[in-house]
Amino acid sequence: MAVYEYTAKDRSGSKFSGISSDIRSAAVLRSELDKMGHVLVKARRAKPAAKKRKKIKRLEVVAFTYKFAGMYSAGLSILRCLETLEEQTENIAFRDTIADIRGKVETGSSLKAAFEKYRSLFSDFFLGMIEAGESGGKLATALQMSATYLEKQAELKRKVSSAFIYPAAVGIVCFVVVGFLLIFIVCQRWEGKR
């Protein structure tokens, strides 16, 4: 079933537009309009509205890692930790990511292999620590260290970006002032030569 946007004419010849959902084809739409005494002029299949996915923030990943470490340290299984974190996550994109990771772990994949697809989100360091924690039997410690690392990395990025704000603002103001002065001086010279 699809959604169609259409233009039709009524009995008096006046055109009108509409949207019809749950229609199999334009032929079905034409017959439905014929039953009501209308003539189909033009129909096209409407594109489905794209769902806007929220971006996953670095701080959400840090919070996830801290919670995961705390839950696993408290004695919960990896699957139970992932299920709980999936339920608690508000960001739909991140919830889908956690659900995918949980699904891979449920089917017998190692934790590192489950996170491998999301290497860009969690970082190489995180994956290395997960692998080391799994093989060494110190997963809780590895998760805690990963959370600390991710938090420091996020803090460093925040500081670097905030350090560039002031010079950028000063540069823009200088550019505007110099541009204004040049225009003012050129205009004064031009007026003086007349």
**pLDDT for residue 50 is more than 70:** no
Sorted by where each begins, the domain ranges of the chain are 2-45, 58-154
Question: What is the distance of C-alpha 36 from the center of its chain?
Answer: 44
Distance CA 57, CA 158 (A): 12
Closest CA to 65 of 3, 125, 23: 125
SS3 187: helix
Q: What is the pLDDT of residues 94-105, one digit of tens each?
A: 999 999 998 899
SS3 170: helix
pLDDT at 67: 93
Angle in degrees, CA 56, 59, 60, rounded to 5: 50
pLDDT-based confidence at 13, cuts 50/70/90? confident
Domain 58-154 indexed as CATH 1.20.81.30: yes
Record the pTM: 0.58
pLDDT-based confidence at 158, cuts 50/70/90? confident
Handedness of CA 93, 82, 115, 128 (dihedral sign): positive
Distance CA 81, CA 122 (A): 17
